[in-house]
Amino acid sequence: MSNNTINTPVTNLPPSHKPWLANWKSFYKKFKRNKAALIGGYLILFLILTAIIGPYITTYDPTEIDYSIKLQEPSAKYWFGTDHHGRDIFTRIIHGMSLTLYVGFFSVTIGGAIGIFLGVIAGYYGGRLDSIIMRIMDVLLAFPGILLALAIVSVLGGSLNNVIIAVGIFSIPAFARIVRGSTLSVRKLEYIDAIKALGANDIRIIFKHVLPNISSPIIVQATLRIATAILTASGLSFLGLGAQPPTPEWGAMLSDGRSYIFDYPHVAFFPGVAIVIVVLAFNIFGDGLRDALDPKMKN
């Protein structure tokens, strides 16, 4: 018998050698079954791209005032018409898209980071620390989200950054409660006790074993929370506590259009439709993520 061996490259590795690829294929296979969620995902991608490149391809200045063309109806020249200051509404919506997404993403990032930290600490260590953190979360949850954000902005003052802080604060309890519950479930698993017995410290266990196992509900909650954050921020701007004129923020544009809702409905209609589309896209995308990432729905 010959002892010579032929070394051939392994090109088709079993799924076990590429767990991330197998997990991604499994996730996408389940996700694409939900046609509405798939459309929502593509729409979000389109909105992000529009927010990035849109301001560079628009024709008009979003803040330039020209009373000679004020309250123009939608036309080939002004697709969405003009407002009471003669500003092109289509241009203002395109420029306002980046502000809307900025508020949504950053406010949820702030609320998620703090909420995840508090939820993991409460669920992992339990005891008195858990009770204190959860009672604080209960106090925050006792206020309706929009009222809590309204109170915070009233204290801090009306500005876009203060809106982000306010929306981030009222997002903390939702993340904290979800993460706490998931952490409690993971903490009771036998392999966590085995890792502790091997001498792993708490930080290593939390970051390498707890957080990766509870990432699915966090991702779903973050996606759905972005829609809530955008709606809340638009509501605060509608009340005059968010972005200040002449910033092309959709909630503020909707507020400006109230006075012309009967005679010139396009002034309020298009900003309102823009808010609805973005919120709807994130909601149906989040529902699709929840269905795809839920282990109970593998069949």
Indicate whether 52 pLDDT > 80: yes
CATH code assigned to 32-297: 1.10.3720.10
Q: Is the confidence at residue 205, as pLDDT, over 80?
A: yes
Q: What pLDDT is attached to residue 136?
A: 92
With a threshold of 0.75, does the pTM exceed it? yes
Per-residue pLDDT, 94: 93
pLDDT tens digits for range 61-105: 888 888 888 888 998 888 999 998 899 999 999 999 999 999 999
Q: What is residue 46's predicted lDDT score, i.e. its pLDDT?
A: 93
Q: What is the mean pLDDT of residues 110-122?
A: 93
Reported as a single tens digit per residue, the pLDDT across 158-203 is 788 888 998 899 889 999 999 998 898 888 877 777 887 777 787 8
Confidence of residue 47 (pLDDT cuts 50, 70, 90): very high
Average pLDDT, the chain: 83
Q: Which residue has the tokens 């409905």?
A: 265
| Percentage, residues of the chain above pLDDT 90 | 29
Q: List the domain boundaries for the chain.
A: 32-297
